[in-house]
Amino acid sequence: MSKWYVYIVRCADSSLYTGVTTELKRREREHNGELQGGAKYTRVRRPVEIVWSEPHENRSDATKREYQIKRYSRKKKLALVSEES
């Protein structure tokens, strides 16, 4: 069974995007246009870099956490990112 990850990327314009995936490196490449896929939001804000991630046992838990983080203020997301540094 694959692990799921919630992640935050920092875009070229310093904005933050939150998503879920099973493979962080592949997803970063998709967001950067190296592979097909990626979000419309990041398509015009390249390059992006994954600056934070958190593993979860299943997709359900990961998407619940993603929803929670997407509701955070920018300040709270940046605090989350700086905790990992």
pLDDT of residue 2: 80
CA neighbor of 51 nearest in space, from 73, 31, 71, 65: 31
- Find the DSSP H helices in 2-73: 24-31, 40-43, 59-70
Asked if 34 and 9 count as a contact pair (C-beta separation under 8 A), the reply is no
H-run or E-run covering 75:
helix 74-84
Look up the CATH number of domain 4-84: 3.40.1440.10
> How confident is the model over 37-76, as pLDDT tens digits?
999 999 999 999 999 999 999 999 999 999 999 999 999 9
pLDDT of residue 8: 98
Confidence of residue 1 (pLDDT cuts 50, 70, 90): low
Asked if 18 and 66 count as a contact pair (C-beta separation under 8 A), the reply is yes
Q: Return the number of other C-beta atoms located less than 10 Å from residue 1's C-beta.
A: 5
Sketch the domain layout of the chain as residue ranges.
4-84
